[in-house]
Amino acid sequence: MKLISWNVNGLRAVAGKGFDSIFNELDADFFCLQETKLQEGQIDMEFLGYRSYWNYADKKGYSGTAIYSRHEPVSVTYGIGVDEFDHEGRVITLEMPDFYLVTVYTPNSQDGLKRLDWRMAWEDEFRLFLCGLAAKKDVFVCGDMNVAHNEIDLANPATNHFNAGFSDEERAKMTQLLAAGFKDTWRELNPDTVKYSWWSYRMRARERNVGWRIDYFLASDHAMSRVRSAGILNEVMGSDHCPVEITID
């Protein structure tokens, strides 16, 4: 099975940039989206053979996630069950017969790390949520996790050390999540490869490949044995992020 994750930075915007063609060409079993930036009824975008699941933020034009699935889930959960964190449409979980698929749009700590404390609390609750799932069956987690974990994961680590997405605090939370029983699928299979999934719109960053790897597929430790490949599809345009993918047994 093929699983795709893509932060589209506004689904209505990317719909005008060939999203339907990209979707069909990638031909995934599960296609997860982050930062859809819309409310229910603002777009009609369904694909033959797929069911779709949507989590909308209370705030209009903000955040939001979605999953298109060829396979009918056992159950669907929206959010992580903590009211403080469940108003921004950030998490959808599909329970399949032998695994959970979680898509997440992790909160950005914002300029000057203004939202870092909220982000740190979110990280702790999200980790508990994932560990609870992993105690039951395999878990695959995908999405824009808004952190470059190690220096290899961004072009300019020295100048970004105290910036959102590469602060010591955010990186430590990713380390803590992995230590709790998860693997970074791309880094496990490509330990020394430099490849990015997000580029600023400023200063021709994508053209110059001055980017960050902040989009992930994680697998619970047991589930990692099912991962056959991991990819970063940086040739796909339409957003400031590119899709990431895994194939699994």
Is 196 labeled as catalytic in the residue annotation?
no
Catalytic option among 105, 153, 184, 216: 105
Contact partners, residue 195, CB within 8 Å, separation at least 6: 186, 213, 232, 234
Does residue 100 carry a catalytic annotation? no
Q: CA-to-CA distance for 144 and 90, rounded, in angstroms?
A: 10
Extract the tokens encoding 66. 């979605």
Assign 223 to helix, strand or coil. Answer: helix
Residue 39: C-alpha distances to residues 61, 226, 245 (Å): 7, 35, 26
Give the contacts of 41 (CB within 8 A, at least 6 positions apart).
Answer: none
The residues with which 138 forms a beta bridge, in sequence order, are 99
Chain centroid, CA 193 distance in Å: 20
- The CA distance from 185 to 230, in Å, is 6
Structure tokens at 102: 């979680």
CA–centroid distance for 60 within its chain: 20
Active site residue: 53, 68, 138, 144, which one? 144
The SS3 of residue 148 is coil
Query: Which active-site residues does the annotation give?
Result: 105, 144
